[in-house]
Amino acid sequence: MEETEEQSDAQQSDLSLKKGNHKGDSFRLHIVTWNVATADPPDDVSLLLHLNSPKSPDLYVIGLQEVYSGPLRFVSDIVFDDPWSHLFMSTLAPLSYVKVSSIRMQGLLLLFFSKMEHVPFIRDIQATYTRTGIFGYWGNKGGVSIRLSFYGHMLCFLNCHLAAHMKYATERVDEFEYIMDTQMFNCTKAPRIIDHRLVFWFGDLNFRIQDHGMHFVRSCINNQTYSLLWSQDQLTMMKKKEQLLQEFEEGPLDFKPTYKFDLNSDTYDSSGKKRKPAWTDRILWRLQPKASPPDESSEDVSTQEPTQDLYTSKMEYSISDHKPVIGIFSLEVSLRKMYEIPLVRLRAEGDWSADIDAMVVYSPLQPFPSSSWDWIGLYMVGFTSMSDYITYTWVKDDEVAFNEELMQVYVSKEEIPVRGGECVLCYYSSALQCIIGISEPFKVSIKEIIVSLKSSAPSVCLSPIYRLCIMSRWRNHDITHCFLSCCFEAQILIFWPLPWSQSQWVSAVLQLCDSWALTSFRSQGHCSLTLAGIWMAYVKRQHRRVCCSSVRPPQQLQHTFVLTLQPFFYGPYFDGF
């Protein structure tokens, strides 16, 4: 602390951060809960996320229930991002939101997004789950949670799907209490959910409206006299009897009950069952009664009660028999004892391109448990998640110079992307399991991609070299298509930018086959140049898993020329084939 406060004015200006001078700040939190009833995601979620609002959230927390988890889809979702996660990541990443953590248990999915500026201050991230389905072994019901330290305050987010049907209100409470009691975290100051400074509980809690008849309920809905139904809402009734529930707050239910609707309509259940409408989908919160110290300080901290700015359903979405519910909160937090300086400052040294080796310079700003497993990742601006790096370098293995204040880490030119673009560097701490420093954006120069044809036979020299310069910028950084073709002793290296279609790729291959260099090569008698197959490597960096697929080329290309695949990116989450 004292060392930080004694830094020079120039260094403070460079950091653009000061510590201990603010009396308070407001963080905006946007929570979504939605039972999607196994439906595929809609084309657009802008209304759900309030993307046109003048006040953008600092954090997005999205809890889904009944995400489709059939055997084939579930396996593919392990390899790839599931369609819902992909939709939210692709929507939020261009707005500088990063997926910090996620957890899935069958149909239950919980996603946590943060503005990139907050990422170095989100630490001690852990996630867990509890099954409460058939005999406690099936995960169709239960809870998934993510806990973390946000600027020193311990927060926990719990997404639940509890037992269905009118008569099981008590069972729902029992399941909730079981989840609260059994979920444990490896954190001495907050080992249980209840120990966290602030807990948000949401999901398809399945509480119904009892006693009132169908006609009265629908009449109140049509007249928007929702308050007449509150007294018979099961969750409201159970809160009067259960001590744990009384500790949770909820905003007024001033919106239509969110269940049950006919699909693709705003009409309540018209089937033979004619289920009574109910507020099954809820968002509640609990502020710990007694203030606890932040994760990295032993001093007191005061946290004001969250202010709920909005609590409503989004009737515009009709792909499910549930309507999504959103809650927007302002978290007024005293910053007197919260850290505002990241643990590490880092920057790219000099010019970066795939033509020359590069250097990363970093300096620790505060003590932290460094490890030989720490790494620095290179990310495109607008990256979606921590695993969405282009390349990485191990900090200790590639360290070339250091002193007490400044370290230099070497990056080989072979690891730098040829396509160039705006990039950032992120320092990942293995001990803390999070990113603890992010550089300012910098430019990586584009390199021409050269397609060269050379025979290994010393008597043969092919010229001219066929050049293919691809200047198109690759916008989707989750995937890379990479081709390495081998034709006896000839080697052709081609990178395919994502905007190209398969037909454009085939046209480029045909153009290459018709080039003077290949004609000359063919005339030397080394091979007959027609294509037997095009193999595509669809490289997905997700939890050490890779999936490959193949497609057949047009009939006129099928003969003797074979293309084989070569992975392009490597890293701690992707180690190649």
What is the pLDDT at residue 419? Answer: 77
Average confidence score pLDDT of the chain: 75
Q: Which residue has tokens 């993510």?
A: 146
| Burial environment of residue 16 by CB neighbours within 10 A (0 to 12, 13 to 18, 19 or more) | exposed
What is the pLDDT at residue 210? Answer: 95
Picking from 98, 76, 87, the residue whose alpha carbon sits closest to that of residue 540 is 76
What is the pLDDT at residue 354? Answer: 86
Write out the H or E segment, with its range, that includes residue 74. Answer: helix 71-79
Write out the H or E segment, with its range, that includes residue 549. Answer: strand 549-551
Distance CA(231)–CA(212), nearest Å, equals: 10
Distance CA(107)–CA(93), nearest Å, equals: 24
Cβ-Cβ contacts under 8 Å for 30 (sequence gap 6 or more): 49, 50, 57, 59, 60, 61, 326, 327, 328, 329
Q: Is the pLDDT of residue 294 over 60?
A: no
Residue 513 structure tokens: 């086959």
- Lowest-confidence region among 68-82, 291-305, 430-444: 291-305
Q: Is the pLDDT of residue 391 over 80?
A: yes
Q: What is the mean pLDDT of residues 570-576?
A: 32
Identify the CATH assignment for 344-444 out of 3.40.50.300, 2.40.50.100, 2.60.40.2840, 3.40.50.1000.
2.60.40.2840
What is the pLDDT at residue 12? Answer: 34
- Residue of higher predicted confidence among 569 and 296: 296
What is the pLDDT at residue 405? Answer: 80
What is the pLDDT at residue 447? Answer: 66
The superfamily (CATH) of domain 22-204+285-333 is Endonuclease/exonuclease/phosphatase (3.60.10.10)
Q: Is the pLDDT of residue 502 over 50?
A: no
Tell me the C-alpha to C-alpha distance, in Å, between residue 139 and each of 112, 129, 189, 201, 338. 21, 9, 29, 18, 38
> Is 344-444 the same fold as 22-204+285-333?
no
Q: Is the pLDDT of residue 545 over 50?
A: no
Q: Is the pLDDT of residue 441 over 80?
A: yes
- Lowest-confidence region among 124-133, 214-223, 313-322, 393-402: 393-402
- What's the distance, Cα to Cα, between the start and end of the chain in Å? 46
Q: Which residue has tokens 């019901």?
A: 141
DSSP code for 140: T
- Cβ distance 381 to 428 under 8 Å? no
Residue 20 structure tokens: 């201990």
Cβ-Cβ contacts under 8 Å for 34 (sequence gap 6 or more): 48, 63, 64, 65, 281, 317, 320, 322, 323, 324, 325
- Residue of higher predicted confidence among 296 and 209: 209
Q: What is the mean pLDDT of residues 273-281?
A: 95
Distance CA(252)–CA(289), nearest Å, equals: 22
Q: Is the pLDDT of residue 555 over 70?
A: no
Distance CA(326)–CA(45), nearest Å, equals: 12
Distance CA(189)–CA(152), nearest Å, equals: 12
Distance CA(62)–CA(30), nearest Å, equals: 8
Distance CA(84)–CA(72), nearest Å, equals: 16
Q: What is the mean pLDDT of residues 408-424?
A: 88
Domain layout of the chain by residue ranges: 22-204+285-333, 344-444, 448-577
- Cβ distance 142 to 108 under 8 Å? yes
Q: Is 573 left (phi over 0), alpha (psi -120 to 50) or beta?
A: alpha
Distance CA(166)–CA(210), nearest Å, equals: 7
Residue 96 structure tokens: 């500088």
Q: What is the pLDDT of residues 118-148, one digit of tens each?
A: 999 999 999 999 999 776 666 689 999 999 9
Q: Is the pLDDT of residue 516 over 70?
A: no
Q: What is the pLDDT of residues 15-58, one digit of tens each?
A: 333 333 344 568 999 999 999 999 999 999 999 999 999 999 99
Q: What is the pLDDT of residues 330-377, one digit of tens each?
A: 987 543 447 889 999 999 999 998 888 999 999 999 999 998 999 999
Distance CA(164)–CA(65), nearest Å, equals: 13
This prediction has a pTM of 0.74
Q: Which of 167-176, 454-463, 488-497 has the highest mean pLDDT?
A: 167-176
Q: Is the pLDDT of residue 268 over 70?
A: yes
- Lowest-confidence region among 28-37, 111-120, 441-450: 441-450
Q: What is the pLDDT of residues 203-247, one digit of tens each?
A: 999 999 999 999 999 999 999 999 999 999 999 999 999 999 999
DSSP code for 259: B
What is the pLDDT at residue 339? Answer: 82
Q: What is the DSSP string of 421-434?
A: EEEEEEEEETTTTE
pLDDT band at 417 (very low <50, low <70, confident <90, very high): confident
Q: Is the pLDDT of residue 201 over 80?
A: yes
Distance CA(395)–CA(414), nearest Å, equals: 17
